[in-house]
Amino acid sequence: MIDKYINSVIQRDCLEVMRNIPDESVDITFADPPFNLKKKYNGYKDNKEFNTYLKWCKCWIYEMVRITKSTGSIFVHNIPKWLTYYSDILNEIAYFKHWIAWDAPTSPMGKMLQPSHYGVLFYAKDREKLKFYEIRHPHKRDRRTGYLQKDYGGKKSSLHPFGPLVSDVWTDIHRIKHNKYRDDHPCQLPIHLLERIILMSTDEGDIVLDPFVGTGTTAIAAKRLGRKYIGFDIDKNYISIAEKHLLQEIIKSRIGNVWVSFFLNEVVTIRDKDWKELSKYYSLPKSNKEIDYTKIELKNKSEIILHINNGGDKAEKRNNRIQQTLFKQKEELL
């Protein structure tokens, strides 16, 4: 039943389609629903009446939890106001793990405090069986001197060469600001935000489902990381953009056998457990104390980046070429 949806993005009302998916079919679910803030989508009207919106959210949240496997996680992204209501719903049917504060300025709210974060609720379907990997991000450094921004005091010898474990406050991922990097969609998320979520909650080959996939961010992140994806969106234009991206997507975000997340040619998220293998690809200082003022660099960085951007090994490249040809043929027929 689930097989027919795998590795596709489909124009459907997510609620209708999720109701037909059997229990415990996918590894994780991630939702970035409309915020009911009168955003200008292509077709969808983002102005439901308060209770109608919440009633609707309750329905798709329930479906997300139902179709997620017992080892899986449920993630929901929104502004804090709606997340307070979502927590009420989720606390009844899943287990709270984290409220991730994603530090990103939002629209001014008149005379109140300036909203400066979005939230991602992270729930487990089953507390005991949850699949979760600790993740790390690079140390933050002073741009001019290269020194670490955080003062680790007497603990410099125990610094991790790559960087600290990721906390529940994410300040290192920014919203897409420039139009040239975004599609014609009012609230597209950055791909590496989704890559971080996918790296910490899934393994290669796992299924990631997004009921509000927009122009395909979650699906692209899953594909780059060797996961399977399923995406729904009610809007045919967004689905068409997402399909196009996915068919042209050849990046395999992997160094050796290790999946990592890249942004602007820098590794931005790794799993803690992969460091032993990954460290072979880095030039590391002799003493950990040097981490305080020395940024570690990938050996053969340009080759590694080229390999990643070209889709990895030969078989994968061939597969990508076939997919692109099929897509061109499909476009010519339309």
Ligand X SMILES: C[S@@+](CC[C@H](N)C(=O)[O-])C[C@H]1O[C@@H](n2cnc3c(N)ncnc32)[C@H](O)[C@@H]1O
Q: Which of residues 192-251 bind ligand X (CB under 6 A)?
A: 211-212, 214-215, 217, 232-235, 238
DSSP structure string for 41-72: -SS-B----HHHHHHHHHHHHHHHHHHEEEEE
Any contact of residue 57 with ligand X (CB under 6 A)? Answer: no
Any contact of residue 187 with ligand X (CB under 6 A)? Answer: yes
Return phi, psi of residue 12, to 5°.
Answer: -155, 160
Any contact of residue 135 with ligand X (CB under 6 A)? Answer: no
Kindly tell me which of 188 and 253 has the beta carbon lying closer to ligand X. Answer: 188
Any contact of residue 53 with ligand X (CB under 6 A)? Answer: no
Q: Which stretch binds ligand X (CB under 6 A): 154-162, 164-172, 182-190, 289-297?
A: 182-190
Q: Which stretch binds ligand X (CB under 6 A): 31-39, 121-129, 164-172, 275-283?
A: 31-39
Kindly tell me which of 233 and 274 has the beta carbon lying closer to ligand X. Answer: 233
Any contact of residue 44 with ligand X (CB under 6 A)? Answer: yes
Nearest approach in angstroms of CB 189 to ligand X is: 4
Any contact of residue 118 with ligand X (CB under 6 A)? Answer: no
d(CA 79, CA 168): 16
Q: Pick from 185, 196, 227, 252: which binds ligand X (CB under 6 A)?
A: 185
Nearest approach in angstroms of CB 26 to ligand X is: 16
Any contact of residue 34 with ligand X (CB under 6 A)? Answer: yes
Any contact of residue 13 with ligand X (CB under 6 A)? Answer: yes
CA 202 to chain centre: 11
**Residue 306, Cβ density class (10 Å: 0-12 exposed, 13-18 middle, ≥19 buried):** exposed
Any contact of residue 32 with ligand X (CB under 6 A)? Answer: yes
Nearest by Cα to 291 from 116, 170, 160? 160
**Residue 103, Cβ density class (10 Å: 0-12 exposed, 13-18 middle, ≥19 buried):** middle
Any contact of residue 41 with ligand X (CB under 6 A)? Answer: yes
Kindly tell me which of 82 and 162 has the beta carbon lying closer to ligand X. Answer: 82
Residue nearest to ligand X (CB): 214
DSSP assigned state of 250:
-
d(CA 32, CA 83): 11
| Contacts of 78 by beta carbon, 8 Å cutoff, 6+ apart | 32, 33, 35, 86, 118, 119, 121
Count other Cβ atoms within 10 Å, centred on residue 95.
16
Nearest by Cα to 63 from 25, 15, 110? 15
Interacting residues with ligand X (CB under 6 A): 13-15, 32-34, 41, 44, 185, 187-189, 211-212, 214-215, 217, 232-235, 238
